């Protein structure tokens, strides 16, 4: 293998990006060397960019939603070959804790992610371990392949919520994760799926992707709108995909008695005030959902039924990573998914 130089995007202080230059190592053992073709900016990248991610102090490399072409494999790789088009599950688990030994690796006590150890995917190349590398369907583009990771996050949340046929679902937050949760909820049997956001473009996109109702929180009160949609009964299930106190409370207050709220958003402020008596008076349930556990195969199996390309609103070359991140944070740009092309 010729000597390759890798350029890796890094947030070195809040709001500022630079690039690390590293020599690419030859893959060994069960390692797979991938030339990145498409990377997508995630909400967690934005938390890092703002210097407010609770688990990723600065400086930190970013990027974990990506796809690419396999360049070379280690001598123990069996099911992946050079030339394969792939995406990667970017988690790293210990394989030794109780969760890992019982097959629940998503709950690994020592879980981390590639970007947290300096191997972000806003780069030219990346090395991944074979068990986490998945082949893309022949008819899937690299840009769509980069969205398998957020689709897996959505699949994990919807599977945890156990959507039942005929249920009414509220999704708070019309970013990519929220829209994908809405799409999967409808495909899982929900009769009605309402999406809340403040941007009309995102809300229109949510309808195109499967939502049956939308609520613009700037134009109407969310809880009043829910009462109207459910004739005062409340939603069966809700998903919080924003990560702030106001939307957490909305997720709690919008569900009916014995309803379930699933919290997906990352909270920059980990301490919030909630109406605790609601747990007692309405016997509601609140659960979290983070990442994935055996959800990548599910996402790949359903990806062909979801128009993932519609989520992509902007594209930038790797050199313009700073501009791409700023575009995501500029509400006037109505960005949903921003793709970075090395």
Q: How far apart are CA 74 and CA 145, in angstroms?
A: 23
pLDDT value of residue 330? 95
pLDDT digit string, tens, across residues 47-82 = 999 999 988 899 999 999 999 999 999 999 999 999
Summarize the confidence of residues 336-342 as an average pLDDT: 97
Rg (CA), the chain: 20
Q: What is the token pair recorded at 68?
A: 């690419």
3-state DSSP call for residue 36?
strand
pLDDT at 280 over 90: yes
pLDDT at 253 over 80: yes
What would you measure as the largest C-alpha separation in the chain, in angstroms?
66
Q: How far apart are CA 33 and CA 70, in angstroms?
A: 6
Tokens 């957020």: give the residue.
150
**Topology at the third CATH level for domain 154-288:** Rossmann fold (3.40.50)
pLDDT value of residue 1? 63
Summarize the confidence of residues 285-299 as an average pLDDT: 95
Per-residue pLDDT band at 2 (split at 50, 70, 90): confident
pLDDT digit string, tens, across residues 146-159 = 999 999 999 999 99
Q: How far apart are CA 321 and CA 121, in angstroms?
A: 12
Query: CATH classification of 5-146+307-341, choosing from 3.55.40.10, 3.90.180.10, 3.30.43.10, 3.20.20.70?
Result: 3.90.180.10
Range(s) within the chain of domains with CATH label 3.40.50.720: 154-288
pLDDT value of residue 3? 83
Per-residue pLDDT band at 13 (split at 50, 70, 90): very high
pTM for this one?
Answer: 0.96
Strand partners, 70: 34
Percent of the chain predicted with pLDDT > 70: 100
pLDDT at 116 over 90: no
Q: How far apart are CA 342 and CA 339, in angstroms?
A: 10
CA 121 vs. chain centroid, Å, equals 14
pLDDT value of residue 324? 98
Per-chain mean pLDDT for the chain: 96
pLDDT at 201 over 90: yes
Range(s) within the chain of domains with CATH label 3.90.180.10: 5-146+307-341
Percent of the chain predicted with pLDDT > 90: 94
Per-residue pLDDT band at 287 (split at 50, 70, 90): very high
pLDDT digit string, tens, across residues 321-333 = 999 999 999 989 9
pLDDT digit string, tens, across residues 205-251 = 999 999 999 999 999 999 999 999 999 999 999 999 999 999 999 99
pLDDT value of residue 128? 95
pLDDT digit string, tens, across residues 298-313 = 999 999 999 999 999 9
CA end-to-end distance (rounded Å), the chain? 20
């Amino acid at each position: 293998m010729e000597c390759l130089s890798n350029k890796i995007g890094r947030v070195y202080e809040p709001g500022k990006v630079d690039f690390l230059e590293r020599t690419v190592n030859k893959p060994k053992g069960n390692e797979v060397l991938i030339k990145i073709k498409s990377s997508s900016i995630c909400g967690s990248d934005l938390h890092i960019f703002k210097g407010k991610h609770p688990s990723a102090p600065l400086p930190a490399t970013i990027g974990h939603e990506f796809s690419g072409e396999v360049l070379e494999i280690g001598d123990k790789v069996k099911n992946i070959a050079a030339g394969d088009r792939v995406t990667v599950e970017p988690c790293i688990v210990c394989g030794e804790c109780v969760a890992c030994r019982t097959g629940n690796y998503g709950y690994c006590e020592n879980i981390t992610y590639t970007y947290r150890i300096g191997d972000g995917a806003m780069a030219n190349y990346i090395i991944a371990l074979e068990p986490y590398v998945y082949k893309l369907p022949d008819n899937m583009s690299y840009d769509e392949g980069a969205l398998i990771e957020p689709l897996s996050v959505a699949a994990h949340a919807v599977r945890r919520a156990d959507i039942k046929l005929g249920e009414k679902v509220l999704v708070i937050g019309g970013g990519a994760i929220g829209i994908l949760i809405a799409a999967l909820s409808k495909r899982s049997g929900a009769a009605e799926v309402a999406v809340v956001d403040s941007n009309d473009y995102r809300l229109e996109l949510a309808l195109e992707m499967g939502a049956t109702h939308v609520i613009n929180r700037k134009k109407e009160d969310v809880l009043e709108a829910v009462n109207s949609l459910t004739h005062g009964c409340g939603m069966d299930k809700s998903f919080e995909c924003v990560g702030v106190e106001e939307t957490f409370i909305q997720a709690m207050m919008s569900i009916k008695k014995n309803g379930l709220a699933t919290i997906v958003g990352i909270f920059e402020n980990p301490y919030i005030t909630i109406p605790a008596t609601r747990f007692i008076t309405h016997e509601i349930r609140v659960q979290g959902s983070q990442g994935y556990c055996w959800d990548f195969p599910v996402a790949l199996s359903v990806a062909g039924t979801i128009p993932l390309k519609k989520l992509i609103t902007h594209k930038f070359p790797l050199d313009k990573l700073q501009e791409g991140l700023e575009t995501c944070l500029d509400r006037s740009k109505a960005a949903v998914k921003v793709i970075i092309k090395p």
